[in-house]
Chain A
Amino acid sequence: MADLPPKKGDPEWEEWAEDILDSTEFDTDLGKRISKDALRIAEGELSKAEFHERYSDEMKAEFGVDERPTEPAPETDTAMPRVPGDRNQTRRNVLKAMGGAAAAVGLAGCVGASADDGSETGGNPEPDTQLGMAIDTERCIACLQCSEACKEENNTDIGVHWPYVFRYEDEHAGENREDFLTRHCQHCSEPSCTYVCPTQARYRRTEDGLVLTDYDTCVGCKYCQVACPYGVNYLGKDEPNEVVGNEFDGDRVGRDGRTVGGNPPKGVMGKCTFCVHRQDSDDEELQGTTACEQACPVDAIHFGDMKDRDSDPREHLREKEASNQYKLLDEVGNEPNIVYIGKRPSKDAEPVQGPVSYEQLNMRDGNYDYVGAPEDAAAESEEGDAA
């Protein structure tokens, strides 16, 4: 922002910017409009979703790809090589090409100013539908209902939590406060888990962007687990699930004929499926829903098509556009499809027990030993409303 000329709208500034834009091979008018609206985002007059919608096509036409530099620059310790086939390289080249225009009008700077909120990267353009979530951590009360409902729905092994609720303490404006973060598989648009899979058992379904595991072909090599930066994979162990203890009763076979629903068999990799059996069922009531979303008593989870402007998550994101919005580990480059609303946990976030423990709901918390200190939890005054 430092090298941004003094005032937007100032005629001198406009001339200066136009000159620079004209010297590039890119469309001057488009650049001007984009930069003006980018400033409006910074002022809070325009949501990023709307901004994206407005310019997506034009950006694609002009630059070949719609990748605005809305993400914070990767830190050195995250700038690591990735599996071939990833498109970071081309993205970088495009960014370089855009550099002249974007930097000149301060676009990068303006958008960078609000970079910590939901970076609405267009991502992989293939699917028309991209199922995803908006999770409102400002509403979450860490009641663990989502975790429990998922267990009932998918009958996952006892220590396995497809949605896991982090309960942590973090510095908020100088004071240490408890906060919560529900973590699912992010159903990434650039999922590192699918690239490494030697059998194509882990795949991204093209029509709706779900990342699924074919339980019939997975060899259980655990490569996907190693390659996923989010730690959301669990190898099937066939352990009894004490919450329900009965069989998964959805349809295991998805609409593409592959066995992808419910808990994984022993020796096979599993993770959150975004309740694929519901999405693929004939029951319209179930389509477009997940068990965790329905169970949440405070409506913190919003599930739907992230590409549809009127979907539940998009609407919710618009509603809460004043709040901070972000994607977890977006600097890694997996292009996750869950957008969080609320404060991003800092690197100093420390796990705590939270108002409800997994054991209280008859589930086992793998993290519990680590979080430990039950006396800590007891001493906690249990004020769950972080919002």
Chain B
Amino acid sequence: MSGVEIDPERVLKPLKNTSKQYYILLGLFTLALLLFLEAWVHQITYGVGAVTGIGDWGISGGVPWGLYIGGFVWWIGVAHGGIAISAAVRVINLDKYRPIARIAEVLTVLALGMAALNIVLSMGRPDRIFNTIVQWPFTVHHSPLAWDIAVISLYLVLTLTYMTLSLRSEISALRHRLPTWLAPLYALITLGYRPDEDEKIEQILWWLAVAILALVPLLSGGVVPWLFSLIAAQPGWYGAAAGAAMLTESITSALALVLIMTVVFRYAYGWHDMIEDGILRDLTIVLAFLALATIWFTMHDVLTGYYIAPVNIGALTAGMLELNFFWLAIGGLVVSVVLLFGMIGWPEYFFNTPLLVGVSALLAITILNKKVMFVVEGLMYPTQPPLTNLYPTGVYSPTLVEWILFLGTIMLAGFGFLVISKLIPMIELEKEERELLRPNAETDKTEVE
């Protein structure tokens, strides 16, 4: 059906052979994790109020939410975009892009975890997180954070179900080729597996993908913006286009990260023939237009905030235009768009994977910047006159601890990729490809518990 030749042997290689570079990378990430833990212990010991740039708004002129909550929104966006990419590949039958689907799924699972972790990092008493869960049934109808938990959980369940189902026949076919020490994990994934379920599972997966695609705009472009826009005290968080803008940014950042991870795997395992340049080039086009749409939404925001906006929104927009970070974001977006369109228009001059990775990283960081700005900016300006004047404008800049902890979540996601790439094939194998590896029906039966 497609020109892509997937070589199952080489897809399985990472599960069996581990290179020296892998261990070095693992060591580096482990070190980063230790630093992360150290910083977290430090934050818990001295208190969020003492070691972060987070402060009380009001007379203290602080900003109560900062990098962590901005980071949460960013990770959530990545998660929603990631699963949307994978689901789209399945629903529209874009077989050509199958090699990136699983990378996107894994990214989603990790991103959801990191989103949740960022919320926990932001808490003054993370040890009490359980209270939120205990109270959930009583708070879900009014507390945005409780919805949050619901959304993240729903998404995690959907993604994990989706991934597990898509893995079942694959794992059972490949059992004899997979590391034996992981047998319990594989047994769990393939629990009750029968070869004749394959067709059903395919159908279920297709419908799940449809459901996911339908839910993404509702969750990423709906619930997450609502989390903010329902807070009447902070008008900067409200806007008619907020949902659409967030959704666009989500998919942009997710695609950027999927691209980066794809190139990384391609490079690490020499999968250039399986993940062709053509795939990267197509994704570049999509990324270019998404980045353009992000610019468009930003302009929209500024224009509506600047002209006939109510006083406080106008002040907010004016304040935003004075932030260096705003111009940094605009700069990042414009540079990305120019480079991406250069790559599309004159591939012979501009298209190369390092540059693509660079632009993707720039876009992901720019969108992170936008998310943090969105959160912080909304909180910087006391909005209701006369308090507008009586309270100082808030100031916020993240401290080293905050940077270490937030960047730590990125490290943690990288660590997750390293680990997961040793557990499951990172490229989904189709039936014919699996059959190449299946010794014969009898041995298979004896292997399935």
Contacts and interface: CB of A to CB of B under 8 A. Distances in A.
A347 B59 CA distance: 17
A311 to B, nearest CB: 28
Contacts of B59: 161, 164, 231, 365-367
Contacts of A351: 389-390
Interface stretch (A32-40, A98-106, A221-229, A252-260): A221-229
Contacts of B230: 81-84
Interface stretch (A131-139, A198-206, A293-301): A198-206
Contact of B138 (A181, A200, A350): A200
Nearest to B238: A80
Contacts, number: 203
A349 interface: yes
A325 to B, nearest CB: 16
- In the complex, which range does the number of interface residues on chain B fall in? 35 or more
Nearest to A347: B385
Interface in B118-142: 119, 122-126, 128-129, 131-132, 135-136, 138-139, 141-142
A219 B131 contact: yes
Contacts of A199: 128, 131-132, 135, 139
A213 B202 CA distance: 51
Interface stretch (B20-28, B307-315, B318-326, B419-427): B307-315
Interface in A195-247: 195-201, 217-223, 225-238
Interface in A51-102: 75-78, 80-85
- In the complex, which range does the number of interface residues on chain A fall in? 35 or more
B146 A198 contact: yes
A370 B389 CA distance: 10
Contacts of B119: 221
A196 B231 contact: yes
B123 A219 contact: yes
B233 A218 contact: no
B48 interface: yes
B389 A349 contact: yes
A80 B47 CA distance: 34
A264 B67 CA distance: 24
B406 interface: no
Interface in A346-375: 346-351, 365-367, 369-370
Given A80-B235, A236-B124, A367 B56 contact: no
Nearest to B62: A366
A237 B131 contact: no
Nearest to A165: B59
A236 B60 CA distance: 13
B416 interface: no
A226 B237 CA distance: 11
A75 B232 CA distance: 13
Given A226-B233, A367-B392, A235 B144 contact: no
Contacts of A123: none
B125 A329 contact: no
Contacts of A198: 131-132, 135-136, 139, 143, 145-146, 149
A266 B390 contact: no
Tell me what chain B mostly uses at the interface: helix, strand, loop, or mixed.
loop
A333 interface: yes
Contact of B310 (A77, A218, A220, A332): A77
A196 B144 contact: yes
B310 A231 contact: no
A168 interface: yes
B379 interface: yes
A77 B311 CA distance: 7
Given A80-B238, A235-B48, A221 B310 contact: no
B57 interface: yes
Nearest to B310: A77
Contact of B61 (A195, A223, A227, A367): A367
Interface centre among B129, B135, B313 (most CB of A within 10 A): B135
A267 interface: yes
A154 interface: no
B229 interface: yes
Contact of B47 (A81, A219, A238, A329): A238
A289 B338 CA distance: 67
Contacts of A81: 229-230, 232, 238
A347 B64 CA distance: 24
Contacts of A234: 56, 58, 60
A110 interface: no
Interface string B382-410: 11111111111100000000000000000
A352 to B, nearest CB: 11
A275 interface: no
B233 A332 contact: yes
A347 B386 contact: yes
B49 interface: yes
B49 A237 contact: yes
Contact of B60 (A76, A159, A195, A197): A159
Given A221-B145, A225-B56, A267-B49, A332 B131 contact: no
Contact of B132 (A219, A228, A333): A219
Interface in A255-275: 266-269
Contacts of B385: 346-347
B135 A235 contact: no
B48 A84 contact: no
Contacts of B50: 237-238
The 8 nearest A-B residue pairs measured at CB: A220-B124, A77-B310, A267-B124, A231-B58, A370-B392, A347-B385, A366-B60, A198-B145
27 contacts: A75-B310, A81-B230, A83-B142, A83-B144, A83-B230, A83-B232, A168-B389, A198-B136, A198-B149, A199-B131, A219-B123, A219-B124, A221-B119, A221-B124, A226-B65, A233-B56, A236-B124, A237-B47, A267-B48, A267-B123, A268-B124, A329-B384, A332-B232, A366-B61, A366-B392, A367-B391, A367-B392
Given A83-B144, A229-B387, A231-B382, 12 more contacts: A75-B310, A78-B384, A85-B142, A195-B142, A198-B136, A220-B128, A226-B64, A229-B232, A233-B56, A235-B54, A267-B125, A347-B389
Interface of A: 75-78, 80-85, 159-161, 164, 166, 168, 181, 192, 195-201, 217-223, 225-238, 266-269, 329, 332-333, 344-351, 365-367, 369-370
